[in-house]
Amino acid sequence: MNLFRLLRALRNVIIVVLIVLLALFLRGCAVRPATDYPGSHFNQGKNAAWIGIEWVNAAHRDDEIAALAHDLQQHQIGYAFVYVSYLNAQGDFNASYDYAGDFVRSFKQAQPGIKVLAWYGLPLNYADLSSVTVREHHNVQR
């Protein structure tokens, strides 16, 4: 009889512990109080944006590029990753960046404080960066 009471007490303790853990989980994840802080409160000035290839594979007017740069600056973007090309199955980068130089010049003139970085697509199903030959061919540094 004592064993039965002990097992029932143990079961009750486990149920109470599980209820407390569930309550803590709900309090921490699902029922979080909203903050009154604006998004800028959490901003560390290191925000980034990924810019589509359409900005460098076709001509754009300076005012269009300046508007983009201004919009990024308004959103406190410090880094712009501009998609310029991707590695094709033959192992070469597509020539989709004909207007990259014009884009960077206009962008930097409009917003010199934003860092512009080239973003290259590397499909990992055929771009084996662990291969020394591939890295040497594309001058990829480790």
Burial environment of residue 27 by CB neighbours within 10 A (0 to 12, 13 to 18, 19 or more): exposed
How is residue 79 annotated by DSSP?
A: E
What pLDDT sits at residue 40?
A: 72
Specify the pLDDT at position 7. Answer: 85
Check residue 79 and give its pLDDT.
96
H or E segment and range at residue 101: helix 100-110
- pLDDT < 50: residue spans in the chain: 142
Residue 141 pLDDT: 53
Nearest to 70 by CA among 113, 6, 41, 121: 113
The domains of the chain are located at 1-33, 46-138
Give 85's strand partners: 120
Q: What is the pLDDT of residue 96?
A: 82
pTM confidence score: 0.63
User: Which of the four CATH numbers 3.30.750, 3.30.1480, 3.30.420, 2.40.50 does domain 46-138 have?
Assistant: 3.30.750
